[in-house]
């Protein structure tokens, strides 16, 4: 018999070969399809939530423009007329370069006419007297004393006598020791008035500790066990973008590892003899700490954290046995092992800031953690951060 | 319900329709899995994974075609993946010693039932079984098998010939016993 004939014969015989799969296969497919549907539903909820979060984080900026250095250029382009648009008398007057001394209080106003000196008058230190090379701001303070208390408000109410104006975010008084704010933004023309709102050093948040309260709906393992995680902690800023966060957390997860099909539970390693029917409910609880480096992506509401993990877990089955679902999703193996105890691991968190005020921050976050026992926990939740000013 | 309507209902996630599609093709596909698997339990796992993939990827199925052939392709791919997951070193087939199962030219005429032949194929070593199924039953060329499994076409040819020789020997033994 040649090769082709052998193949043909095999094909013919096997083409009619069918075998009825047991009902459990369909039940398992059914359960897995349900689980997928559930996961998809969660994702479908996440999408509008993310959009909503994005909208929430954008709306306040639209209502009260945040004059951050990032949008300084656009602000200037929108609001700053060219020097030739200013009244000629004003230009001439301010170009005369009268020098006046102004006490640097909580508010510092700096002014440059189009013919101002090449050196910018921001070289000063906190508490020292500040020389303005131009009289423009001083004139402003003298002529309109009600505006000097808060030039930002004056700017917003358009009561200032000039329009060539740009506004930058509040600057820490101690930081104004160099012309950085201007040099950093070369697009700022000489005929632009820059208002720097200075904040006293003592209230600089870099020194402040924030308290964190987090809660998450989470899954333990492959998703069989559902539950939640709660966490409390504090963070201390390292610099503008990073902070160190220490915490203590608890978790509680539970679930029936057998689908409601009254399946046989087989005992390993032979896994041959059915020993009973029913479902097994597993519970894991744990206490953990996860020292984390928190970071933020500049100019976005995105936040992230990476850290180590020390976890002590308690398992409802104690150290005697554990239930493991076999690959066919229908049978289970009871296995001995050590399920209580200490483990080390890592944790990754990504978040989206929904709210950011002086004292409060609210963040939607997703976390993933894994430890040396192989326990994987994923979670979705909210984190509230409170900073006492 | 016509095939097209059935597929459409399955795409919409209607569980009753999915059950109908499963009932229609599961026995045939279980036969395929049975030939690739080492055990009945592994065949059931393969079938389960395959149908999950079928229901998840129905959007990719072109309605004018026959679902059976498309499902069968998925089942075969799932079977190969499942075998790979067992961390079987497919590449090691390239270095198998010649004397393991010598290639012979004697092929008896197969007078066995489908189940008996499938049982025999199932008992073949991994490499022999997969290559025999892919080449003799599914009609893959050795070049295609080489690409799918990441082995040399020559290795696939060699595996097939050894599988055929081993099968022939077993068929002979069984047929002699039954006489």
pLDDT in tens, A342-380: 888 999 999 999 988 888 999 999 999 998 877 889 999
Q: How far is CA A191 from CA A26, A210, A359, B98, B108, in A?
A: 77, 41, 37, 89, 100
Residue A33 to residue B15, Cβ atoms within 8 A: yes
CA distance B121 to B32: 11
Number of C-beta neighbours around residue A37 at 10 A: 12
Residue A349 contacts residue A249 (beta carbons within 8 Å): no
Kindly report the average pLDDT of chain B as a whole number.
83
Please list the residues that pair with B88 across neighbouring strands. Answer: none
- The answer on pLDDT for A37 being more than 90 is no
A152 and A199 fall within a common domain:
yes
* pLDDT reading at A199 higher than 80: no
Domain boundary among B55, B85, B115: B85
Q: List chain B residues with CB under 8 Å of A7.
A: 135-136
Which of A92-101, A193-202, A277-286 is least confident?
Answer: A92-101
Q: Are residues B69 and B143 in the same domain?
A: no
Structure tokens given for A83: 């020097």
**Among B36, B57, B85, residue at a domain's last position:** B85
Model pLDDT for residues B14-41, shown as the tens digit of each residue: 899 999 999 999 999 999 999 998 888 8
Same domain? For A186 and A211 the reply is no
Judged by a CB distance cut-off of 8 A, whether residue B78 touches chain A is no
- Say whether residue A386 is in contact with chain B using an 8 A CB cutoff: no
Give the end of a domain, one of A170, A203, A236. A203
Number of domains in chain B: 2
pLDDT band at A143 (very low <50, low <70, confident <90, very high): very low
In a domain, A227, yes or no: yes
Residues 91-110 of B with CB under 8 A from A: 107-110
Task: Name the residue among B15, B26, B114 with its Cβ closest to that of A21.
Answer: B26
Q: Are residues A342 and A323 in the same domain?
A: yes
Q: Residues A175, A241: one domain?
A: no
Q: Which domain holds residue A133?
A: 71-203
Q: How far apart are CA A159 and CA A147, in angstroms?
A: 8
* Cα within 13 Å of Cα(B8), Cβ side: 7
Give residue-wise pLDDT tens across range B158-174: 888 888 888 888 888 88
Contact across the interface for B137 and A25, Cβ inside 8 Å = no
Within B86-152, where are the H helices? 114-122, 126-132, 142-149
**In contact, A120 and A112? CB cutoff 8 Å:** yes
Q: What is the pLDDT of residues B121-166, one digit of tens each?
A: 888 888 888 999 999 888 889 999 988 888 889 988 988 888 888 8
Based on the fold, state whether residues B160 and B123 are members of the same structural domain: yes
Q: pLDDT averaged over chain A?
A: 67
Q: Are residues A235 and A359 in the same domain?
A: yes
Show the domain range for B148: 90-178
Count the domains in chain A: 2
Q: For tokens 């040649």, name the residue.
A: A2
Measured CA distances, A148 to A18, A64, A172, A280, B142 (Å):
90, 21, 19, 73, 87
Q: Is A26 on the interface with B (CB under 8 A)?
A: yes
Separation of CA B80 from chain center? 8
How many H-runs (helices) and E-runs (strands) does chain B carry?
Answer: 8, 0
Could you please report the per-residue DSSP string of A160-209?
A: SS---EEE---EEGGG-SSSHHHHT-TT--TT-EEEEEEE-GGG-GGG--
Beta-carbon separation of A25 and B107 below 8 A = no
The residue ranking higher by pLDDT, A190 or A313, is: A313
Question: How close B95 gets to chain A, by Cα (Å)?
Answer: 24
Residue A10 covered by a domain: no
| Biggest distance spanned by C-alpha atoms of chain B | 55
Q: How many CB pairs under 8 A join A and B?
A: 93
Within 8 A of A6 by CB-CB distance, chain B residues are: 107, 110, 136, 164
The HSE-up count of residue A81 (CA atoms within 13 Å, CB side) is 8
Question: What letter does residue A292 receive in the DSSP assignment?
Answer: E
Tell me the pLDDT tens digit for each residue of A203-247. Answer: 454 568 899 999 999 988 766 788 999 999 999 988 888 999 999
Predicted confidence (pLDDT) at residue A144 exceeds the cutoff of 80? no
Query: Touching check for B24 and chain A: CB below 8 Å?
Result: no
Q: Is A335 inside any structural domain?
A: yes
Strands (E), chain A: 100-102, 107-110, 130-132, 165-167, 171-172, 193-199, 210-220, 225-237, 242-256, 264-267, 274-277, 281-289, 292-296, 302-315, 322-325, 332-335, 341-356, 360-371, 376-387
Cβ of A13 and B114 within 8 Å?
yes
Claim to verify: residue A135 and residue A185 sit in the same structural domain: yes
Judge: A20–B30 Cβ closer than 8 Å, yes or no: yes
Confidence of residue A255 (pLDDT cuts 50, 70, 90): confident
Residue scoring higher pLDDT (A148 or B11): B11
Same domain, A198 and A224: no
Last residue of a domain, one of A181, A203, A225: A203
Q: What is the pLDDT of residue A326?
A: 65
* Same domain (yes/no): A124, A246: no
For A68-79, how does the pLDDT look when each residue is reduced to its tens digit (9 = 90+)?
444 444 444 444
Q: Which of A19, A36, A329 sits opposite B34 (nearest CB)?
A: A19
Same structural domain for residues A218 and A140? no
pLDDT per residue over A105-119, tens digit each? 333 344 433 333 333
Kindly state the average pLDDT of the residues B96-102: 52
**pLDDT recorded at residue A223:** 65
Mean of the pLDDT values across residues A291-298? Answer: 91
- For chain A, percent of residues with pLDDT exceeding 70: 46
Neighbours of B39 (CB within 10 A): 10
Q: Are both B94 and B174 inside the same structural domain?
A: yes
Among B85, B107, B130, give the residue marking a domain's end.
Answer: B85
CATH of the domain at A237: 2.40.160.20
Q: Scan residues 310-369 of A and list those with Cβ closer than 8 Å to B.
A: 327-331
How crowded is the C-beta side of A272, counted as CA atoms within 13 Å?
1
In this complex, is the C-beta atom of B13 within 8 Å of any C-beta atom belonging to chain A? yes
Domain co-membership, A143 together with A274: no
Q: How far is A18 from chain B (nearest CA, A)?
A: 5
Residues A222 and A282 both lie in one domain: yes
């Amino acid at each position: 018999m040649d090769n082709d004939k052998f193949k043909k014969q095999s094909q013919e015989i096997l083409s009619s070969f069918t075998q009825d799969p047991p009902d459990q296969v369909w039940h398992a497919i059914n359960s897995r399809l349900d689980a997928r549907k559930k996961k998809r539903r969660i994702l479908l909820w996440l999408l509008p939530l993310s959009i909503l979060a994005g909208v929430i984080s954008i709306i306040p900026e639209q209502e009260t423009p945040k004059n951050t250095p990032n949008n300084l250029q656009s602000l200037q382009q929108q609001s700053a007329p060219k020097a030739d648009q200013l009244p000629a008398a004003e230009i001439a007057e301010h170009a005369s370069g009268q020098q006046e001394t102004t006490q640097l209080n909580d508010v510092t106003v700096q002014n440059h006419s189009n013919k101002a000196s090449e050196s910018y008058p921001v070289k000063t230190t906190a508490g020292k007297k500040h020389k303005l090379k131009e009289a423009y701001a001083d004139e402003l303070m003298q002529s309109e004393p009600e505006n000097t208390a808060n030039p930002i408000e004056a700017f917003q109410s358009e009561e200032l006598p000039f329009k060539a104006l740009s506004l930058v975010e509040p600057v820490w008084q101690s930081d104004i020791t160099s012309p950085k704010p201007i040099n950093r933004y070369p697009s700022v023309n000489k005929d632009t008035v820059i208002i720097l709102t200075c904040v006293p050093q003592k209230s600089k948040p870099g020194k402040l500790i924030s308290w964190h309260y987090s809660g998450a709906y989470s899954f333990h393992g492959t998703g069989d066990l559902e539950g939640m995680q709660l966490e409390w902690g504090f963070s201390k800023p390292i610099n503008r973008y990073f902070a160190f966060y220490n915490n203590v957390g608890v978790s509680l997860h539970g679930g029936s590892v057998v689908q409601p099909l009254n399946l046989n539970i087989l005992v390993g390693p032979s896994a041959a003899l059915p020993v009973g029917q029913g479902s097994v409910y597993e519970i894991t609880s744990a206490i953990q700490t996860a020292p984390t480096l928190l970071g933020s992506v500049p100019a976005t509401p995105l936040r992230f954290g990476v850290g180590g993990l020390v976890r002590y877990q308690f398992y409802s089955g104690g150290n005697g046995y554990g239930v493991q679902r076999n690959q066919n999703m229908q049978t289970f193996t009871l296995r001995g092992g050590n399920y209580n105890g200490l483990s080390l691991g890592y944790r990754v968190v990504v978040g989206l800031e929904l709210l950011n005020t002086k004292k409060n921050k609210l963040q939607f976050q997703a976390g993933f953690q894994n430890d040396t026992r192989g326990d994987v926990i994923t979670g979705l939740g909210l984190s509230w951060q409170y900073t006492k000013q | 319900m016509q095939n097209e309507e059935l597929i459409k209902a399955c795409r919409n996630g209607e569980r009753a329709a999915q059950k109908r599609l499963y009932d229609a093709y599961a026995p045939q596909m279980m036969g395929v899995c049975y030939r690739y698997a080492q055990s009945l339990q592994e065949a059931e796992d393969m079938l389960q994974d395959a149908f999950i993939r079928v229901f998840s990827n129905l959007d990719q199925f072109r309605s004018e075609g026959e679902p059976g052939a498309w499902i069968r392709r998925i089942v075969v791919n799932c079977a190969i993946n499942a075998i790979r997951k067992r961390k079987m070193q497919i590449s090691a087939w390239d270095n198998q010693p010649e004397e393991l199962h010598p290639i012979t030219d004697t092929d008896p005429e197969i007078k066995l039932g489908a189940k008996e032949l499938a049982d025999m194929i199932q008992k073949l070593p991994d490499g022999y079984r997969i290559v025999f199924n892919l080449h003799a039953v599914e009609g893959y060329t050795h070049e295609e098998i080489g690409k799918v499994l990441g082995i040399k076409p020559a290795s696939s040819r060699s595996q097939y010939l050894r599988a055929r020789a081993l099968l022939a020997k077993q068929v002979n033994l069984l047929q002699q016993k039954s006489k």
